[in-house]
Amino acid sequence: MTLVAGIDSSTQSCKVTVRDLGTGLELRHGKASHPPQTVVDPRAWWDALLLAVARAGGLHDVAAISVSGQQHTPVFLDADGAVVCDSPLWNDTGSHPHMVALNAELGREEWIRRTGLPLTLSDTAAKLRWLRDTHPEHARRTAAVAVVHDWLTWRLRGFNDGSGDIHELTTDRSEASGTAYWSPQTGEYCTDLFVHAFGRACVLPRILGPLDRAGVTGTGLPGIPAGVAIGVGGGDNAAAALALDLRDGDAVMSLGTSGVVYTRSSVPVHDLSGYVCSYADATGHHLPLVATLNAARNFDAGAALLGCTYAELSDLALQAPPGAAGLTLLPFFEGERTPDLPHARASLHEASLANFTRPNFARAVVEGTVASQVAMLEALDACGLRVDRLFLIGGAAASTAVQTILAQMVDVTVVMPALDEYVTKGAALQAASALEGAFRTWPVALRELPRVALEKDIARQHRSAMAALGYDV
């Protein structure tokens, strides 16, 4: 039996899976937590990777490894490959004024035209400007900029912090596409955009093709033998799309800490409305994506306020009628990215003595969350991206209320993939491709949600609440 390993260095943790090459069946796994802060010493991610490997029983028996990771988050290195400073994560809001400045200097449409991205505070380019403006001494020392997956892959190849060759850094199209200095038309860096954001040029990771190898593992790595093939790796959503074998007409709705909806496209998308980000996928195609800041944490807030479990929140929501008797929640607890409302906060609308009940409130929490995600599907449709089948994944997807309300709001087939870690699985598939020079397809068990009558009042109430606060709808 040949084994391969996939590694997911996400925002919250590092996960490792060891799978059978032939079937994709997971044989063992390990996990280690990341620091909770939004500005983090990158070496914590390397330590977590090694700990997750140890908890997975080591990788002494695997033939190939590949890494997926949180997108956008930069790692700043000096000329010797040493980490210059802590890294601001994609969700750190400190780069918001720097994003505003970059958009003002070049114009938002220029960023969209050149990179396919409506520049946000999450993108690497905004973090470059943040470092230049707030920590000029660190910016002066910086000789190379990588993102998390790039740096961890480099470390796996045996390049050490402070004694490595920064010219050996590698990346893939999916990670490069999240920097806001990469062109989906040419597949190359827009180095002038990097220089505009940072003030000067730096070494950037070499962009590998979907089936390329990054190299082999180095010597002296705890739990990891030398000479193991390393796949190209990629961004987290690209890895999940690969594991799900996403095809034209398919879309994924992922409900985790944030909400993400993406689909597959053979051509890049340039959405001048500023909602759809045109990322690249792991296969040589494109992955148009829309994201919200608020998703599963809405249910944390609702369950805490009602003093109930997540299962009880779901049960309560299903006791209420569609539309929650008029009660509507706009769930912008952390501001919002889609729509672009960074300073907004959550609001409850049309509450009365008659409808302000526990079931109606629970339903309003779920409906408000799902309505925000359905609006992202509508943004994809406005770009001419057809969706016939919707994959529902993520921690909050297990909620019966989420499944029921989503089916009431969309006129497409909704399927639930079997519970799995699809990012680590996709990374393991990339490890397999490093061995075989082609992508395998591992089976995914799907459960189709029953079609139900559409409940148009849910979306109508959501739009009315948006209009009441003067938000652009």
d(CA 272, CA 108): 8
d(CA 65, CA 213): 10
* DSSP-derived 3-state class of residue 63: strand
The answer to whether 236 is a known catalytic residue is yes
Helices (H) and strands (E) in the chain, counts: 15, 22
> Is the distance from CB of 193 to CB of 157 less than 8 angstroms?
no
- E-state strands within 72-208: 74-77, 87-88, 144-147, 170-172, 206-208
The secondary element (H helix, E strand) that includes residue 413 is strand 413-417
The β-bridge relationship of strands 62-69 and 229-231 is parallel
Q: Which residues touch 101 (CB under 8 Å, ≥6 apart)?
A: 129
What letters, b where the CB count within 10 A reaches 16 and e where it falls short, cover 158-167? bbeeeebebe
Q: Which residues touch 252 (CB under 8 Å, ≥6 apart)?
A: 237, 240, 241, 244, 246, 260, 261, 262, 263, 390, 391, 393
CB under 8 A, 24+ apart: contacts of 133-138: 133/98, 134/94, 135/85, 138/76, 138/84, 138/85
For 260, list phi and psi in degrees, rounded to 5.
-135, 135
The β-bridge relationship of strands 328-330 and 277-280 is unpaired
**Residue 96: Cβ within 10 Å count:** 17
Active-site annotation holder among 86, 236, 250, 281 = 236
The secondary element (H helix, E strand) that includes residue 270 is none
Active-site annotation, residues: 236
